[in-house]
Structure 1
Amino acid sequence: MAKPLMIALDFPSGEEALAFLSRFDEPSKLTVKVGMELFYEEGPSIIEKIKALGCDIFLDLKLFDIPNTVKQASKRLAKLGVNYMTVHGLGGSEMIAAAREGLDEGAKEAGVEAPTLLAVTELTSISDDVLKNEQNVDLPMKEMVLSLARTARGAGADGVVCSSQELETLNNALDDGFFYLVPGIRLPEDGVQDQKRVASPTFARENGASAIVVGRPITKNAYVKEAYDRYLSDWEG
């Protein structure tokens, strides 16, 4: 899928994640997100099991540490053969560049393709009020996200994770070819839960998203395949 809809496998165990994937007739057509909850519970073995089903994998661990630590972690994670990986953009240009080096080195050693490196900007759970009064950032949200995206691009990242609300600003300010992954996706009939900056798949597509992530509206739905098809149809237009 050129512009994937990624399903967030936010399950407490590998058994539950694999049971969920078994409900699809062709899991090899899926792109899935493995985040902290599942990876910290199961470790690298869950990546191997999901890869065996043929899924593309977005490993979302948001690495955030000193550059050398991030480089060494990235080098090892690249050997797992995942397709996408994240660092936190607030770690700065040196850290992002170190992640890029680690991914490239690890992938070369393992004989696999290096993952697409994405820098997380501001989480979709962060509101303007939190940005200003807790993070003490004077910039408006869109300008803050743009600043982080420019830093990430200059340091060798392939794209960023951002909300749909910043897409227009980013697409207007940055060159073509940068990858925009958008979480916080909800259809109008689904609740926003703990997300603050949300939008529909259609809105994300029309404003230049490269990929979207959908979690609970699909994984917690009694009719999983039908929910996935609804979101996919809206995303593909």
Structure 2
Amino acid sequence: MTTQSPAEKIFVALDYDNMDDALRLADRLGDTIRTMKVGLQLFFKSGPVILDRLHDMGFQVFMDCKFHDIPNTVAGASDSVTSHGVYMFNVHVGGGVEMMRRAKQAAITRAESLGIAVPKVIGVTQLTSTTQSVMNDEIGILGDVGESVISYARLAQQAGLDGVVASGHEIQGIREACGSDFLTVIPGIRPTWAEANDQARIMTPTEALRAGASYLVIGRAITHADDPRAAALRILEEVQASEGAIS
């Protein structure tokens, strides 16, 4: 597994409703964090230009639009997003193995045709806002949330994806099921000094890294801080300290 610096392990969630605020925040973090996450709200407000602008500023982009449709449609979407040179994008594991396989293959084919790096394709398991009762009583999936996530991770690996998005509480089970090289992208990360907000299954950066997380997605703890750069540096220090303790 490639060793990464603390700055490469953190994705900042640019959960803004306009491009100006997102780029302003990214500019303030430019010398601290390498990858920005662009989600549905910002992408639909700004369009693909936000991807180009972030790349021009020197950032990698995690495109977080969670594709979930018939295999042919998702393959087309994967082809399109790959043409923008994103570092990573995600699809819903619930779409099935064939959908995920087509997504990854479309990304490989387009990247090779353009002579660019193949983006990492990540499967979304259960959202960090999904509680046990929501999964069982509302969505209609029986069993334990953690068991569902691990089952989804196995399907994603079978389809050839690079890893999954999951709660930090499932990292150990995913590593046992899929191996340490299978990536885990962990949202719901909250430093001890930040509020949980609307995510139910959360972890601190230290807890997630000690469990074996590959990447940490952090939003409001940085973007809503009075001094976002200072907050990012504080988290980077915590990550660095955690890695020192792990090694």
Give the TM-score taking structure 2 as reference length. 0.92
Give the whole-Å Cα distance in 2 for the aligned partners of 1:139 and 1:161. Answer: 19
1:1-237 aligned at under 5 Å gives the runs 1-2=4-5, 3-24=8-29, 26=31, 29-237=33-241
> Which secondary structure does the structure 2 equivalent of 1:12 belong to?
coil
Give the whole-Å Cα distance in 1 for the aligned partners of 2:172 and 2:231. Answer: 27
Report deviation, 1:25. 5.2
Report deviation, 1:142. 1.0
Give the whole-Å Cα distance in 2 for the aligned partners of 1:89 and 1:168. Answer: 19
Structure 1, unaligned stretches of length 5 or more?
none
| Matched residue type, 1:185 | I
Give the whole-Å Cα distance in 1 for the aligned partners of 2:228 and 2:122. Answer: 28
Report deviation, 1:69. 0.2
Could you tell me whether the CA contact under 8 Å between 1:5 and 1:235 is conserved in 2?
no
> Which secondary structure does the structure 2 equivalent of 1:146 belong to?
helix
Structure 2, unaligned stretches of length 5 or more?
242-247
Give the whole-Å Cα distance in 2 for the aligned partners of 1:81 and 1:163. Answer: 27
Give the TM-score taking structure 1 as reference length. 0.96
Q: Which residue pairs with 2:245 in the alignment?
A: none
Report deviation, 1:80. 0.4
Q: In the TM superposition, what whole-angstrom CA distance separates every residue of 1:129-154 from its partner, at most 9, and x where no partner exists?
A: 10111122222111100100000000
> Which secondary structure does the structure 1 equivalent of 2:188 belong to?
coil
Change (3 A) 1:95 1:223: same
Could you tell me whether the CA contact under 8 Å between 1:77 and 1:106 is conserved in 2?
no
Report deviation, 1:101. 1.3
Could you tell me whether the CA contact under 8 Å between 1:87 and 1:118 is conserved in 2?
yes
Could you tell me whether the CA contact under 8 Å between 1:58 and 1:82 is conserved in 2?
yes
Give the whole-Å Cα distance in 1 for the aligned partners of 2:198 and 2:92. Answer: 20
Structure 1 residue ranges (4+ consecutive) displaced by more than 4 angstroms after TM superposition: none
Could you tell me whether the CA contact under 8 Å between 1:7 and 1:213 is conserved in 2?
yes
